[in-house]
Amino acid sequence: MDIQDRLADRAKDKSPSAIRELLAYMKIDGMISLGGGYPNPDTFAFERVRIEFKDGQKIEIDGEELASASQYGPSDAHSTLKQEIQQWHSFKDNVELRDDQIVVLNGSQEGLFIMAYLFANHDDRLVFSEPIYPGTLAAFRSFTKNFIAVPLDSHGMQTEILEQKLETIEMTGEVLPKFIYTIPNGHNPGGVALSLSRRKHMLDIAERYDLFILEDDPYQLLKLDKSPQLPTIQSLDKSRKRVVRLDSFSKIFAPGLRIGYVSGPADIMRQFVLFKQSANLHTSTFIQVILLRYLKAAGHQKFMELIKKNCESYRINRDAMVVAAKKHLIPEVKFNIPGEGMFIWFELPKQCNCKRMIEEQCEELKVLLVPGDAFSSQNGCKNFMRASFSMVSPEDIDEGMRRFGAMIKNELHR
């Protein structure tokens, strides 16, 4: 497939920044560059940066390293961080990425925006499961409002329904969607994982209809039970042509740093680079260097162990929420027990209007959840609520669920 034919009009024929493309020559030994517009490092503010990590690692960044961390950098990635990420990706997903298959981003949110920017013309269709993470909806809606919303069940997006929808589109001669968006693990807000058979089915569908899959996976490593990690959709795609994958360090390192990466076919990654050149030049070099130094100091095995240790507190909280929900909520309220992530998605009796419940009762009862309509592209999910167990103590979870139970009873008796 020729990527140029698929790009949205706005992304077609983008020419690379002439200056940015010259950067490669600056690395040549002995080069005297009169070309760059870089400020002189002698003028930079920092002398030394010392960071102590909670695991006891201490790092210092100074001299040349600090100068280059404070300087402009390449649009795709800091070159040493890129190597580190290639090894990390291979370690956790068993997928080898070439140099031209990775771009470091300002969090995966930037990747959601760039994908829709690159591929969605005003009337183009995009596929996702409903409920949907509102950040995705906001990013996609910047470019199109034409969506195919596929329902979610306890095994993730119902790919059989997706297949039927695409068959109908094909039969009626309508235009096929540009890509399928999915959150394969710890779905936000659904709290479910896409089963292995559906991951494979989704790939088959993408192959049959010649579509891309956007695999957005920030909760992959936030595992709450001992079940084995399911293979990523990217790893199942032996052609390495179908899947654009977003990895994020927000949930496993620190979200405020705004760092993640996209990986996928080189021709699409090139488009991501062209976008970065025109939008923000590159993700902060400073932040990339901090992540690099941490990954190097900790090592991948130790980093993974730390993530697992942190997941233990999420597991305790999830269990507390499940126990409290069973204790305090009427039995008609349905929910899944998430195996990853930070959310439980509650389905209330049909007559409940969750937005109204929050508006009318949250101040008095002092309990806050997110009403389901925030996660709908079509003004649905009105009788759903998302609860997060990531930041609350088990005691507060119990009390919060008690108040939520009272809120539901009030709504049913109004």
Write out the residues near ligand PLP by the rule CB under 6 A. 107-109, 133, 135, 183, 188, 216, 218, 248, 250, 255, 260
Question: How far apart are CB 12 and ligand PLP at their closest, in Å?
Answer: 27
Question: How far apart are CB 357 and ligand PLP at their closest, in Å?
Answer: 23
- d(C-alpha 340, C-alpha 205), whole Å: 26
Cβ nearer to ligand PLP, comparing 74 with 107: 107
Cβ nearer to ligand PLP, comparing 219 with 286: 219
Question: How far apart are CB 132 and ligand PLP at their closest, in Å?
Answer: 9
Question: How far apart are CB 91 and ligand PLP at their closest, in Å?
Answer: 20
Question: How far apart are CB 227 and ligand PLP at their closest, in Å?
Answer: 20
Task: For residue 143, give the nearest of 107, 115, 109 by alpha carbon.
Answer: 115
- d(C-alpha 381, C-alpha 338), whole Å: 19
Question: How far apart are CB 376 and ligand PLP at their closest, in Å?
Answer: 15
What are the C-alpha distances in Å from 367 to residues 355, 375, 388, 392? 13, 19, 12, 12
- d(C-alpha 245, C-alpha 182), whole Å: 10
Cβ nearer to ligand PLP, comparing 135 with 380: 135
Hey, is 292 helix, strand or coil?
A: helix
Cβ nearer to ligand PLP, comparing 109 with 376: 109
Cβ nearer to ligand PLP, comparing 104 with 206: 104
Q: Using omega within 30 degrees of 0 as the cis cutoff, is the peptide bond preceding 371 cis?
A: no
Phi and psi (nearest 5°) for 158?
A: -80, 90
- d(C-alpha 284, C-alpha 290), whole Å: 10
Structure tokens at 199: 């991951």
Taking CB atoms, the residue at the shortest distance from ligand PLP is 107
Cβ nearer to ligand PLP, comparing 129 with 159: 129
Pair 325, 346: CB distance under 8 Å: yes
